[in-house]
Chain A
Amino acid sequence: MSPRQRALATSNGQPLAADRLGVRKTYKLYIGGAFPRTESGRSYEITGARGGALANACRGTRKDIRDAVRAARKALPDWASKTAYNRSQILYRIAELMEGRRDQFIGEVMAAEGVGRQRATRLVNAAIDRWVWYAGWADKYSQLMGTVNPVAGSYFNFSVPEPTGVVGVIAPEGSSLLGLVSRLAPVVVSGNCAVVLASESRPLPAVTLTEVLATSDVPGGVVNLITGLRRELVTHLAGHMDVNALDAYGLDPAVATAVEETAAENVKRLVRPPAGGADSVDWLSSEAQSPYLIGEFTETKTVWHPIGS
């Protein structure tokens, strides 16, 4: 790309055809349904996988995480008590709106991950289809994981899965969009609210995803996204006492021990990174989606009532 083309380009790295100066986007955090800058006023420059500056991203802070957790906690009762049918439609709506922005996502994934258009198209298609797949689980997973228990006594006894609460999600570092969606969708489909740490080096597609979420009937606070440096953020998310669970699947396995120790302080449910790290995962595989992943972020509640006259 020539200097002239680069100057014209928008921040997804794609040069425009016309000789018009592109209007670049400011990439911001997503907290409680709003798009604030980080309270610190700091940013860091995001470089494309093939070089060249793409944009500045917010360098979020502990305070931003605290604000996001508060927004998530506030949104939780409403989101968790929506009917499963309603949550199903809202997740499907996310897919609808992503479909409308396919080209934008493809361009951003190409720039972020350094893949060709064909590969980026497959990744974006899979991300959209993943929302559709999980949307269908909203009103089914509890039929898979709930039970009526034949206790030896005159009692009616049943178990149902319920959302765990506020879940921290450490998004995979390499797969900027599909990896993120693959981890986020199973968290929110059951009624949890999420505080997501975006990929540090490739955060831009994640920010664009939040713009989709903001316009697709997902209530503010259900998904919150923080961009920034992991060494500054992960410990605060893992140690926050009002976060109930942590999906550390996207965490660098080298720091997993310390993070897990921190998370133990309030008995967080924790999903560990895979042995080879999340970047070793084939996110296009059907193995990367599972109803059992929904189950990781649910609590089984068992109810007893006597049977009698």
Chain B
Amino acid sequence: MCLGAIIGRVTVTRKPKKPETLPAPASWGMTARGIPWEYAAAPESTDHVAIRPEYGLFIGNEFRPSRPRDTFDVMNPATEEHLARVARASKADVNRAVVAARAAHDNVWSRLPGSERAKYLYRIARIMQERSREFAVVETMNSGKPIKESRDVDVPLAAAHFFYYAGWADKLDYAFPGRTPRSLGVAAQIIPWNFPLLMLAWKIAPALAAGNTVVLKPASTTPLTAYLFADVVRQADLPPGVVNIITGPGEIGMELVRHPDVNKVAFTGSTAVGKMLARAVAGSRKKVTLELGGKAANIVFDDAPLDQAIEGIINGIYFNQGEVCCAGSRLFVQESIYEPLLDKLKARLSTLRVGDPLDKNTDVGAINSAGQLAKIAELVQSGIDEGAEIFQPDCVLPDRGFFFRPTLFTGVSQSHRIAQEEIFGPVLSVLTFRTPEEAIEKANNTPYGLSAGVWTEKGSRIFKMVAAMKAGVVWANTFNRFDPTSPFGGYKESGYGREGGIHGLGAYLDLSADGANGR
């Protein structure tokens, strides 16, 4: 828990010390005497959650062991405790899943009236809402994200995606004037570990609404909510083969993408893997959507509403431990407000509660894996080595599990690795600017282009900045907002195609009826 000292420069290795007396307002979680509130533990109950000892591959609406039978372990990153064994798919299993999906597409799903597909998707949305607590708890246990986020963001948004795309299923003819939309066929979908259930919903909902069937591969560390979703598929009586879920290492994902009977590839993950996938589908007719990495600029002007901006900065980079592709990892502060903003930011940072993800008061949970924790630590060390100044609140991290202190770097230059590379952790690099032009130049100086943030009370400046950002999503006076109706996706090396809204629907349809084109 972060209970500790508020202002002061603290290094990674420093031991926790007693809180200092501070002139912080009560609204920051301090008592009148400046001592942070003690919070009693408020753990979410796990009583009603039943995680099976072993999960097979979900193919044709049945859980089946892989062939040859092989499994790998899945753990809780906050406790390092074993949660379950899941099947490790083989190349033959990939083929079985694609065959099941192909049969379901050709014989059943694409032939159903859209209105019937719609009702299946509405059913799924409703069951996810009914089982929301179960999903939230399992998501937190498996991913390490705080329960308040899985409960209030991941699960409700996932259900909302199904509800939104359900309504499109019987309205496709109205969506794209002059075209006759057709389903593509079998969609191969590979999703990351940072939003396991939400990314599943982003992928499966539009695919099914458009009449495709899917083979989904969750990340190896976070398959449990996907297999819980398989049970929703069973409850909804979806025809066998419409949704297939397989687990295994990255090579299995590549096998899936390369499978000749796959018609659509949708991937969310790192830019490096995205490029590998783009090469893997080269020369095929597969339609591709890539949602890749980011290094978002969050730009704060001197006329910004400061307290709101502080909350936006915190939410921008520490939401989900910073394991967010659109995280606001580069903060650009106008020089004239640099000092007051930094003071407030450090104070706010020190009130973040780091620890047990199942605790309802926790703000920052566990990093998803030991490997990711090592990667974050390595990049943070590079920031120190390259001369940036580190600030971390003085907090006690749990003895077990993969935790990292919320971290902030000042004195960062554009060439530092922490200003260039995606860290995918709770690490903020603070830079400064004087003029809007300088902010634009610096913000766009990256191969990525997923998202950006702008904070100012001046409307005309918002639109100038919005237009200048080479980024697919721009949040003005807010950050990290998501909605099923709102297209999401990047410029440049952050990928191509959009998910969400009518744009995300088009990505799952064959719109090349006039022969002029077709990606």
Residues of chain A having any CB pair with chain B under 8 Å: 81, 144, 147, 149-153, 155, 157, 159, 164, 244, 249, 256-261, 263-267, 269-272, 274-275, 281, 285, 287-293, 296, 299-306
The listed residue (B178, B447, B516) touching A288 by CB distance below 8 A is: B516
Interface residues of B in 154-174 (CB under 8 A from A): 160
Contact A266 B493 (CB under 8 A): yes
Contact B515 A287 (CB under 8 A): yes
Contact A267 B275 (CB under 8 A): yes
The listed residue (B290, B467, B481) touching A304 by CB distance below 8 A is: B481
Do A269 and B496 contact each other (CB < 8 Å), given the known contacts A157-B486, A303-B476? yes
Complex Cα spacing A107 to B377, Å: 68
Contact A290 B476 (CB under 8 A): no
Q: Does B217 contact A (CB under 8 A)?
A: no
Complex Cα spacing A259 to B282, Å: 8
Contact A271 B283 (CB under 8 A): no
Which segment of B38-46, B183-191, B247-255, B498-506 sits at the interface? B498-506
Complex Cα spacing A157 to B481, Å: 10
Contact A292 B492 (CB under 8 A): no
Q: What chain B residues lie within 8 Å of A291 (beta carbons)? A: 178
Contact B179 A299 (CB under 8 A): no
Q: What chain B residues lie within 8 Å of A263 (beta carbons)? A: 278
Across the two chains, which residue of chain B brings its CB closest to A269?
Answer: B496
- Having A257-B283, A292-B516, one finds 15 other A-B pairs with CB under 8 Å, namely A147-B501, A150-B485, A151-B485, A151-B486, A157-B486, A260-B279, A267-B271, A267-B278, A267-B493, A274-B515, A288-B516, A299-B472, A301-B466, A301-B472, A302-B487
Across the two chains, which residue of chain B brings its CB closest to A305?
Answer: B476
Complex Cα spacing A147 to B511, Å: 19
Closest-CB distance, A288 to chain B (whole angstroms): 6
Contact B517 A290 (CB under 8 A): yes
Complex Cα spacing A184 to B79, Å: 58
Contact B177 A144 (CB under 8 A): yes
Q: Does B462 contact A (CB under 8 A)?
A: yes
Closest-CB distance, B348 to chain A (whole angstroms): 19
Q: What chain B residues lie within 8 Å of A267 (beta carbons)? A: 271, 274-275, 278, 290, 292, 492-496
Contact B279 A261 (CB under 8 A): yes
Interface residues of B in 245-286 (CB under 8 A from A): 271, 274-275, 278-279, 281-283, 285
Contact B275 A264 (CB under 8 A): yes
Contact B487 A292 (CB under 8 A): no
Q: How large is the interface on B (under 10, 10 to 19, 20 to 34, 35 or more residues)?
A: 35 or more
Do A304 and B275 contact each other (CB < 8 Å), given the known contacts A267-B493, A288-B516, A296-B519? no
Chain B CB count within 10 A is highest, among A249, A256, A258, A269, for: A269
Closest-CB distance, A292 to chain B (whole angstroms): 6
Contact B517 A304 (CB under 8 A): no
Complex Cα spacing A256 to B282, Å: 8
Which 8 pairs show the lowest CB-CB distances between chains A and B? Answer: A257-B283, A260-B282, A264-B278, A151-B483, A287-B514, A149-B485, A290-B516, A305-B476
Complex Cα spacing A173 to B466, Å: 40
Closest-CB distance, A173 to chain B (whole angstroms): 18
Contact B285 A275 (CB under 8 A): yes
Q: What chain B residues lie within 8 Å of A157 (beta carbons)? A: 483, 485-486
Across the two chains, which residue of chain A brings its CB closest to B179?
Answer: A292
Complex Cα spacing A285 to B515, Å: 10
Chain B CB count within 10 A is highest, among A152, A155, A244, A303, for: A303
Q: Does B471 contact A (CB under 8 A)?
A: yes
Q: Does B491 contact A (CB under 8 A)?
A: yes
Do A159 and B492 contact each other (CB < 8 Å), given the known contacts A287-B515, A290-B514, A300-B503? no
Q: What chain A residues lie within 8 Å of B290 (beta carbons)? A: 267
Q: What chain B residues lie within 8 Å of A301 (beta carbons)? A: 466, 469, 471-474
Q: What chain A residues lie within 8 Å of B292 (beta carbons)? A: 267
Q: What chain B residues lie within 8 Å of A293 (beta carbons)? A: 516-517
Do A304 and B475 contact each other (CB < 8 Å), given the known contacts A155-B481, A249-B517? yes
Q: What chain A residues lie within 8 Å of B514 (beta carbons)? A: 287, 290
Contact A153 B275 (CB under 8 A): no
Q: What chain B residues lie within 8 Å of A152 (beta carbons)? A: 160, 483, 485
Complex Cα spacing A249 to B519, Å: 10
Closest-CB distance, A145 to chain B (whole angstroms): 8
Complex Cα spacing A280 to B285, Å: 17
1/0 contact string of B442-466 vs chain A (CB within 8 Å): 0000010000000000000010001
1/0 contact string of B103-141 vs chain A (CB within 8 Å): 000000000000000000000000000000000000000
Contact B472 A302 (CB under 8 A): yes
Q: Does B65 contact A (CB under 8 A)?
A: no
Closest-CB distance, B454 to chain A (whole angstroms): 9
Q: What chain B residues lie within 8 Å of A272 (beta carbons)? A: 285, 518-519
Q: What chain A residues lie within 8 Å of B495 (beta carbons)? A: 267
Q: What chain A residues lie within 8 Å of B319 (beta carbons)? A: none
Contact B478 A306 (CB under 8 A): yes
Complex Cα spacing A289 to B178, Å: 12
Q: What chain A residues lie within 8 Å of B447 (beta carbons)? A: 266
Closest-CB distance, A42 to chain B (whole angstroms): 30
Complex Cα spacing A291 to B179, Å: 11
Across the two chains, which residue of chain A brings its CB closest to B476?
Answer: A305
Complex Cα spacing A198 to B483, Å: 44
Q: What chain B residues lie within 8 Å of A281 (beta carbons)? A: 515
Closest-CB distance, A81 to chain B (whole angstroms): 8
Q: Does B391 contact A (CB under 8 A)?
A: no
Q: What chain B residues lie within 8 Å of A275 (beta carbons)? A: 285
Complex Cα spacing A271 to B515, Å: 13
Closest-CB distance, A98 to chain B (whole angstroms): 21
Closest-CB distance, A284 to chain B (whole angstroms): 13
Q: What chain B residues lie within 8 Å of A288 (beta carbons)? A: 515-516
Q: Does B477 contact A (CB under 8 A)?
A: yes
Do A261 and B486 contact each other (CB < 8 Å), given the known contacts A266-B493, A290-B514, A305-B476? no
Complex Cα spacing A144 to B175, Å: 10
Closest-CB distance, A136 to chain B (whole angstroms): 15
